[in-house]
Amino acid sequence: MDAIVLLKEDHKTVEKLFKEFEKAGDRAHATKRRIADRVIEELTVHAVIEEEVFYPAAREAAPGTADHVLESVEEHHVVVWTLAELAGLDPHDERFDAKMTVLMENVRHHVEEEERDWFPEVRKAMGRNRLLELGERLEAAKETATRDPLKVPSAAK
Ligand SMILES: [Fe+2]
Ligand SMILES: [Fe+2]
């Protein structure tokens, strides 16, 4: 699969989980825990494959995107720390829903910037064959990616 199509599919999967979370009732603690755990795993793996495979390749193919890439890494940094906090937070805690809401705001903003502001430039610079080859590398990286948000590269800095 084309690398950008693959990443957008991930974005859609996460958005679906966000909508499920928003629809869950105030007292649906077990459901919200389950959804949050899936969000944590999806976003951790997604951040790893972007940071280790897609972002460096994008920057190399389209040097004009460098500032966007750097900003995206800083946004990942905030997101993965929030994921780590959510992993250890009781869904009954009064801060749980608020933390999830801020996560969703941050991720929606981040995804919009990726898809609108700089993925199109990468698509243009790379062309179809390179995107297909990169998609395969992303797929393979998913298999081995950590599931621990604090082991995502951007968590460290
Ligand atoms: Fe990202
Ligand atoms: Fe992304």
pLDDT of residue 41: 98
Instruction: Using pLDDT thresholds of 50, 70 and 90, give the confidence band for residue 157.
Output: confident
Tell me what the pLDDT averaged over the chain comes to. Answer: 97
Q: Which ligand is nearest to the CA of 69?
A: 1
pLDDT of residue 73: 98
Residue-wise DSSP of 100-118: HHHHHHHHHHHHHHIIIII
Dist. CA 27 → ligand 2 center (Å): 31
pLDDT of residue 104: 98
Tell me: pLDDT of 45 over 90: yes
pLDDT of residue 97: 97
Q: Domain map of the chain by residue range?
A: 3-155
Whether pTM exceeds 0.95: yes
Dist. CA 23 → ligand 1 center (Å): 25
Q: Cα–Cα distance between 54 and 26 in angstroms, integer?
A: 38
pLDDT average, residue stretch 1-18: 98
Q: Which ligand is nearest to the CA of 11?
A: 2
Tell me: pLDDT of 144 over 90: yes
HSE, CB side, 13 Å, CA atoms: give it for residue 74: 6
pLDDT average, residue stretch 109-119: 98
Dist. CA 34 → ligand 2 center (Å): 22
